Copies of this chain bind each other. A is one copy, B any other.
Amino acid sequence: MAFDSVQTPAGKADKVLGGSVNYFSVAASFYAPVQVLGVVGEDFPKAHLEWLSARRIDTTGVKIVAGKTFHWVGSYDGNLNEAKTLSTALNVFEHFDPRLDDKHKDADIVFLANIDPVLQTSVLDQVRKPKLVACDSMNFWITGKPDELKKTLKRVDILSINETEAFLLSGEKNLNLAVAKIREMGPSVIIVKRGEYGAMLFTPKSIFLAPAYPVDKVIDPTGAGDSFAGAFVGFLAEQGASREMATQDPAGWDRLLRRAVLAGCTMASFTVQDFSLHRLMRLEAKELVDRQNALMQMISIG
């Protein structure tokens, strides 16, 4: 959970709501109930936690501690696919140590947002019998804590990552080879995010090429990847997905993952149409369904 101050070619927003977990859980909540783990400072607006709670997002796992909330300051120049970090104030996040309650420990589906892989592993140690584990990471951890990240990845079913990070993590320069190497590390399903160009889904059986929904204007790309992951994992949860499906019904698993990726692409396309969570907060179920159908039409060969 974070405050973001962000500047894009379309304008700027100062100290607005941000953070992977916010984007993820709001996106996922369109499909399934969510339990959030996180930490905020005393400066974090209670109204926001209440708003989350009002839409089947359980925030009892969000600790409010003395101090300030994590604050990220960044900008996007010409290339909207890459953020430039201007400053990062970890604040209360510096000593974040996720402790799971009994109800969290029984989670079927776990999403490990992009944090220190040591903490990711600690969360997995606490969950009793997850049926599916998805995970995000980034160049900072890939280069900073490669061994710890690889330890986490051994227990991950689905990894979402961007193209550059896939090369960095695998040491390969070719995407097919990179994915094969990453699969050996643990995750059988790899999603390669490509910003405004969509995402690629690599399963053991096939490759799926999902385009981004072409929006009229990108206001702020922040949170696109996290809300992609939220809709993707939320969709899988709604459909009762588990890693068993991969062996019991590989073709059905592939179809389910493809639809989940399109759910992710659709959600991300709303996120980027405004700063912060603004667009997601006023998003209606019908708009979501309509756009997802439109996106499916745009890739159908009829």
Contact = CB atoms under 8 A, between A and B. Distances in A.
Interface stretch (A149-157, A181-189, A205-213, A234-242): A205-213
Interface stretch (A93-101, A222-230, A293-301): A293-301
Given A176-B216, A200-B214, A216-B174, A299 B208 contact: yes
Interface string A274-302: 00000000000000000000001111111
Interface in A226-277: 251, 254-255, 258-259, 262
B297 A301 contact: no
Most buried by B among A198, A211, A251, A297: A211
A299 B302 CA distance: 12
Contact of A176 (B208, B209, B214): B214
Contacts of A176: 214, 216
B208 A298 contact: yes
How many copies of this chain does one complex carry?
Answer: 2
A301 B261 CA distance: 10
Contacts of A115: none
B259 A298 contact: no
Contacts of A200: 214
Interface residues of A, number: 29
Nearest to A175: B214
Given A194-B197, A197-B194, A197-B197, A298 B207 contact: yes
Nearest to A256: B302
A296 B301 contact: yes
Nearest to A194: B197
A211 B211 contact: yes
A254 B296 contact: no
Nearest to A9: B173
A103 interface: no
Interface of A: 174-177, 194, 197-198, 200, 206-209, 211, 214, 216-217, 251, 254-255, 258-259, 262, 296-302
Given A175-B214, A208-B298, A209-B299, 6 more contacts: A177-B216, A198-B209, A209-B298, A258-B301, A258-B302, A262-B301
